[in-house]
Amino acid sequence: MNLQNTNKKIIVEDWGLISYAEAWQKQEEYLQHIVKIKMENRQREVKEPTPNYLIFCEHPHVYTLGKTGTPHHLLLNAEELSQRDIEYYPINRGGDITYHGPGQIVGYPILDLDNFFTDIHRYLRTLEDVMINTLAQYAIKGDRIMGATGVWIEPSSPGAARKICAMGIRASRWVTMHGWALNVNTDLAYFEHIIPCGIMDKAVTSLAKETGKEMDIEEVKKWLIYFFSKEFDANIIGI
DSSP 151: E
Q: How many CB atoms lie within 10 A of CB 94?
A: 18
Is the separation of the CB atoms in 96 and 69 below 8 Å? Answer: yes
Strands (E), 62-147: 62-65, 87-90, 97-100, 104-110, 142-145
Nearest Cα to Cα of residue 173 among 6, 54, 37, 66: 37
Report the DSSP beta bridge partners of residue 194: 74
50 CB-near residues (< 8 Å, 6+ apart): 4, 7, 34, 37, 38, 41, 112, 114, 115, 175
Based on the residue annotation, tell me whether 57 is a catalytic residue of this protein: no
DSSP 11: E
Give me the catalytic one of 62, 197, 224, 234: 197
Is the separation of the CB atoms in 59 and 19 below 8 Å? Answer: yes
Helix or strand run (H / E) with residue 210: helix 207-211
Measured in residues, the chain has a length of 239
63 CB-near residues (< 8 Å, 6+ apart): 74, 81, 86, 87, 88, 89, 97, 98, 99, 100, 193, 194
Catalogue the active-site residues: 197
